[in-house]
Amino acid sequence: MRNSRYHLRFRGSSMLSALCSTPLALCLLPLALSLLYGCTNSSPGEKADPGAFAQEEPTAAQPIANQPVEPYYIPANALRLKSNAYDHTVLLPLFPPALAGMQRNTLNGESYTMGAGLVAALSAAYSTQDRRLSVSLHDVGDQAEILSVLADWTALPEEENPAVERRSFLYKGQPALIRYGPGRMGTFNVLWNNRFVISIAGRNIGIADLERAMDELQIERLK
């Protein structure tokens, strides 16, 4: 009986050695050993965790919500036109991706001839649902004589419509005008440094939205 058991054991070892000598067995052997280890170390009735051997996939870093965007400042050596106005490409980054909670939809710019020189003109549109904002910026450079055309609101007579609220004041020390009327429509205009003309027009918004948009535009960066 002892010889028979010894014979079976020897035969089994021989078969295992034979299997291990094949390339396929060498690949499957670690898996078999890990399964055997799991079976011998699990308690009765304990279920194997299907994710115990799963490796977590690396995830890309996510941007932080509401992370502030660094403001853009015009470089000292920025490209200028013959009129000393900035080229429109220099001013494009001044328009942020959002204003007063509205996302920017379009952004355009060009430099065109007006008067004896060139003027940089830019515009952007913002919206969220039915709220709308349109923003324009003109840089006339040294051509202060054409401001009467681009900033004609500085010479408008007193408001005659009692339904329209009109407020002339200094915005950060510069001439400004807010007009707001029926239909929740209004405009906010500023003449900055007797050179830049900034206009914001809104629809389905409040006066506070116009003021917030002008603040967030940070026109004090125009120098």
Reported as a single tens digit per residue, the pLDDT across 51-77 is 443 444 433 434 334 445 688 999 999
Q: Which fold has domain 88-221?
A: Protein Transport Mog1p; Chain A (3.40.1000)
pLDDT tens for each residue of 207-221:
999 999 999 999 999
Q: Which residues contact 192 (CB under 8 A, 6 or more apart)?
A: 174, 198, 219, 222
| pTM beyond 0.75 | no
| Percent above pLDDT 70 for the chain | 69
Nearest Cα neighbor of 192 from 135, 139, 119 is 139
**Domain boundary assignment for the chain:** 2-40, 88-221
Tokens standing for 213? Answer: 């948009």
